[in-house]
Chains A and B, each alone.
Chain A
Amino acid sequence: GNSVTQMEGPVTLSEEAFLTINCTYTATGYPSLFWYVQYPGEGLQLLLKATKADDKGSNKGFEATYRKETTSFHLEKGSVQVSDSAVYFCALESGNTGKLIFGQGTTLQVKP
């Protein structure tokens, strides 16, 4: 079945450091891929998405490229801020069902 695997956390970085959070997936067909972010005490919010191979999603300085050959969708940011501290979830949607399959989440803590 479809699944999403994220790197283990927590990830602790200093402000202005480079961020990578790895995400790989298993799916039949050609799923759409997403990154959601959950700030403390809040629900999840869509951060970025990519709907086909080689697409790059970007938002708020974050980027992720849909790599079909490596079944990956790694999240990157060139310079993190304290305000980026949150839990990040990779997810996929297969077949236009509206049902998302989430990874286990990766906690990011950015220190000043």
Chain B
Amino acid sequence: NAGVTQTPKFRVLKTGQSMTLLCAQDMNHEYMYWYRQDPGMGLRLIHYSVGEGTTAKGEVPDGYNVSRLKKQNFLLGLESAAPSQTSVYFCASTRSLQGTGELFFGEGSRLTVL
């Protein structure tokens, strides 16, 4: 069972470069999320999607863009990377908003911006 798959798992960028992180889920989940994890700060929500073709801002959206053209994929883009975006990025998905709270997470993508 693949679950939630993130690519790439590691990436080093120079300031100003752009890149896209891909999240793919094979569970037919409606809801998808991008979080970033920083030491001492837990996980913070960047953007999320409640269905194909929809996106919305989370807690820390600045400097990021997202797209959900297909239900199974949720892309996170950095147009002009900054050192402050050095972080570990996690994608998550869930089927229902019935208060179950069970998000399924990918293994993370570690991004370093020099």
Chain A residues proximal to chain B, CB less than 8 Å = 4, 32, 34, 41-46, 49, 51, 89, 91, 93, 96-105
Contacts and interface: CB of A to CB of B under 8 A. Distances in A.
Contacts of B99: 32, 51, 93, 96
Contact of B48 (A41, A99, A102): A99
A32 B101 contact: yes
Contacts of B97: 96-98
Interface residues of B, number: 27
Contact of B58 (A96, A99, A105): A99
Contacts, number: 61
Interface stretch (B37-45, B65-73, B76-84): B37-45
Contacts of B90: 43-44
Contact of A49 (B41, B50, B100): B100
B103 A44 contact: yes
A2 to B, nearest CB: 10
Nearest to A49: B101
B102 interface: yes
A46 B94 CA distance: 12
Contacts of B105: 43-45
A36 B106 CA distance: 14
Given A89-B42, A98-B94, A99-B45, A34 B106 contact: no
B74 interface: no
Contacts of B31: 98
A102 B43 contact: yes
Interface string B86-108: 00001010100111111101111
A42 B88 CA distance: 11
B102 A46 contact: yes
B100 A43 contact: no
A43 B101 contact: no
B102 A98 contact: no
A41 B107 CA distance: 7
